[in-house]
């Protein structure tokens, strides 16, 4: 079969064990990508290793500073937070935004109507964490319960979203869910928060 091929006399030909090797260069597009990647790697190394590029540590510090600048959570007293929670609780539009936050982030564990699933029932008088007051609900939403698998939503959601979600959870008390989970925790008489 090697005898049937027409070989360019200018191309070096190697034959080993009956296999003929011709000197065909790689396609132009492949060579262009190869040489462009070498140029890019030299520029990248020059910028990050010897130039003005930020190290990973510097980039992390910058991102943390940007996050801290975005976090405009005022240090509100418990009384101020209670007043804000009451304002959300009594405003149908803000309570609806709390329902949206709850549905998006909490319904997978607590059910859309608060009847419970993986997480506890939020409509009855039984509470696993806290005393059922709006302040205790806010604390659980904000700080989470890591040992039970509930993430702390305070660092993840905006302050307004956490407050609205806590107010919505408070509004679920005494409602009748479609499929309520069996009671868990201690019986706590609801406090008159508002």
Tell me, yes or no, whether 120 and 181 share the same domain. Answer: yes
Give φ, ψ of 78 to 5 degrees: -55, -35
Q: Taking residues 64-68, what's their average pLDDT? A: 80
Residue 1 is predicted with a pLDDT of 47
Helices (H), the chain: 28-45, 56-70, 78-90, 92-105, 107-110, 134-143, 159-171
Tens digits of residue pLDDT in 83-133: 888 888 888 999 899 999 999 999 898 989 988 888 888 888 888 888 888
123 and 46 both lie in a single domain: no
Residues 62 and 82 grouped into a single domain: no
Kindly state whether residues 43 and 116 are assigned to the same domain. no
CA gap 163, 127 in Å, rounded: 19
Residue in the structure block whose two tokens are 């319960």 = 145
Smallest Cα–Cα separation from 156: which of 79, 56, 70? 70
* Neighbouring residues of 135: CB distance < 8 A, sequence distance ≥ 6: 78, 81, 82, 193
Burial class (CB within 10 angstroms; exposed 0-12, middle 13-18, buried 19+) of 162: buried
* Domain span at 174: 78-187
Q: Are 157 and 86 in a shared domain?
A: yes
The answer to whether residue 115 sits within a structural domain is yes
| 27 and 52 within one domain | yes
One domain for residues 38 and 93: no
Identify the pLDDT of residue 184. Answer: 85
* Alpha-carbon span 185 to 71, nearest angstrom: 34
Whether residue 8 lies inside any domain: the answer is: no
**In this structure, what token pair is assigned to residue 154?**
């305070």
> Is residue 40 assigned to a domain?
yes
The model's pTM is: 0.60
Same domain assignment for residues 109 and 145: yes
Count of domains forming the chain: 2
91 shares its domain with 157: yes
For 51-85, the DSSP string reads SSPPPHHHHHHHHHHHHHHH-------HHHHHHHH
Does 4 fall in a domain?
no
Q: pLDDT by residue (tens digit) across 11-21?
A: 666 778 888 77
Q: Decide: helix, strand or coil at residue 89.
A: helix
Asked whether residue 128 falls in the same domain as residue 175, the answer is yes
């Amino acid at each position: 079969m090697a005898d049937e091929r027409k070989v360019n006399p200018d191309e070096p030909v190697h034959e080993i064990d009956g296999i003929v090797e011709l000197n065909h260069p790689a396609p132009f597009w492949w060579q262009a990508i190869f040489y462009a990647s070498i140029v890019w790697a030299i520029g990248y190394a020059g910028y990050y290793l010897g130039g003005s590029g930020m190290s990973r540590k510097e980039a992390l510090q910058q991102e943390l500073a940007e996050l801290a600048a975005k976090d405009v959570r005022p240090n509100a007293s418990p009384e101020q937070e209670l007043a804000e929670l009451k304002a959300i609780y009594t405003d149908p539009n803000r309570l609806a935004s709390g329902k949206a936050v709850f549905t998006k982030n909490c319904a997978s564990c607590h059910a859309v109507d608060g009847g419970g699933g993986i997480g506890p029932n939020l409509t009855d008088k039984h509470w696993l964490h806290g005393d059922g007051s709006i302040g205790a609900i806010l604390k659980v939403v904000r700080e989470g319960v890591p040992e039970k698998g509930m993430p702390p939503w305070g660092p993840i959601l905006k302050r307004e979203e956490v407050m609205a979600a806590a107010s919505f959870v408070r509004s679920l008390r005494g409602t009748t869910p479609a499929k309520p989970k069996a009671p868990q925790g201690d019986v706590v008489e609801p406090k008159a928060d508002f």
